[in-house]
Amino acid sequence: MKKAINLSVNGVPHTDEVEPRMLLVHYLRDVLSLTGTHVGCETSLCGACTVMLDGQAVKSCTVFAVQADGSQVTTIEGFAKNGELHPVQEGFWEKHGLQCGYCTPGMIVTAAQLLDRNAAPSREEICHGLEGNLCRCTGYQHIIEAVQYAAKKAGQS
Does residue 71 bind other proteins (CB under 8 A)? no
Dihedral Cα 22, 98, 156, 118, nearest 10 deg: 50
End-to-end CA distance of the chain: 50
- Binding mask 114-143 vs other proteins (x if CB under 8 A, - otherwise)? ---------xx-xxx-xx-xxxxxxxxxxx
Q: Indicate the pairing of strand 50-53 with strand 72-74.
A: antiparallel
Instruction: Point out which span in 1-9, 14-22, 66-74, 148-156 binds other proteins (CB under 8 A).
Output: 14-22
Instruction: Point out which span in 42-50, 52-60, 62-70, 149-157 binds other proteins (CB under 8 A).
Output: 42-50
Calculate Rg over the CA atoms of the chain.
15
* Least Å from the CB of residue 113 to other proteins: 15
Question: Cα 113 vs. chain centroid, distance in angstroms?
Answer: 9
Q: Can you name the residues that pair with 74 across neighbouring β-strands?
A: 52
CA angle, residues 84, 89, 92, in degrees to nearest 5 = 140
Which of 48, 63 has the CB closer to other proteins?
A: 48
List residues near other proteins by CB under 8 A.
19, 21-22, 26, 29-30, 33-43, 45-46, 48, 75-77, 79-80, 85, 89, 92-94, 96, 98-105, 108, 123-124, 126-128, 130-131, 133-144
